[in-house]
Amino acid sequence: MDKSIIGFIGGGNMSTSIIGGLIADGYPADKLLVADPSEETCQALAKRFGISTETDNSAVVSQAQSLVLAVKPQVLRLVAEEIASAVQQQKPLIISIAAGIRSTDIDNWMGGNTAVVRTMPNTPALVQSAATGLFANGSVSEVQHEQAESILRAVGITRWFSNEADLDAVTALSGSGPAYIFYVIEALENSAINLGLDEDSAHLLAVQTAFGAAKLALESSEKPSVLRERVTSPGGTTERALITLREGGLEAIFIEALAAARDRATELADQFGDD
């Protein structure tokens, strides 16, 4: 990766995760800058990573070749308009991790003709295991395209999409997905406790089973359906459980749930975007 200066607007968990991933990959700490209104946050980041911090957003924008917008969606417009002048002077690559905010709106708020990559990472970025969807607008160069991918790849896998609307589906799948998996783990734990296992055993076995299955699915060349079939002996315990899940409509529930999440992502984009 080109070791140009990367600036972060917002010093929360996602910025912390990306910075940690970049430094773990050998990115120079003196090439990373963060702006956050909290002096306490700035001091903590500087102490932890040895990076430079500012409370003034424009001070970071004026130095950065790539700029990661890591603020809440509801305040992104205010922040973008505040730094628009500095962005127009510096012309950095803009990487947004704000859920539901379209690249066209970000471009408009920053004065137009800006290179914007909209991304949808998820919370496993905290342990460098994120799944991130990315979309680049027409102003993003090939070099900037590679730079954005390298930055997000520091916290997990990346996947590009040519249709920005697909990011609403990405939000429904991987953006919100960790909550679904946690819910399944929670249900497995409670069900095991109901069968008589103690809480600690139920928790450990449920979490390790979810981790092991995900690791196997990620590292295998086989489809999940094939892996499932290999675990399912005819007439056995797994088959009986799967029949119960199917009869309960599990797949239909997931279809409905993801569609609801996707639709909400679209609504939020309309709500926070330009009229």
Measured CA to CA, the distance from residue 1 to residue 108 in angstroms comes to 29
Q: Where are the domains of the chain?
A: 6-163, 177-268
What is the DSSP secondary structure assignment for residue 113, as one 8-state letter? -
Residue 182 has pLDDT above 80, yes or no: yes
Rounded CA separation 135/121 (Å) = 12
What average pLDDT is seen over the chain? 95
Distance CA 95, CA 135 (A): 10
Query: What are 85's two structure tokens?
Result: 């002048």
CATH superfamily of 177-268: ProC C-terminal domain-like (1.10.3730.10)
pTM of the complete model: 0.90
What residues contact residue 126 under an 8 Å CB cut-off, 6+ apart? 13, 17
Residue 99: pLDDT above 90? Answer: no
Q: How far is CA 154 from CA 163, 193, 248, in A?
A: 24, 38, 40
CA distance 162 to 11: 29
Whole-Å CA distances, 74 to 77, 98, 155, 271, 273: 7, 9, 24, 9, 10
pLDDT, residue 5, reads 96
The pLDDT of residue 274 is above 70: no
Whole-angstrom Cα distance, residue 254 to residue 111? Answer: 40
| CATH class (in words) of the domain with range 6-163 | alpha beta
Residue whose token pair is 């137009």: 112
Tens-digit pLDDT profile for residues 113-162: 999 999 999 999 989 999 999 999 999 999 999 999 999 999 999 999 99
What pLDDT does 200 receive? 98
As a whole number, mean pLDDT of residues 14-26 equals 93
pLDDT band of 2, cuts 50, 70, 90: low
Predicted confidence at residue 255, as pLDDT, reads 97
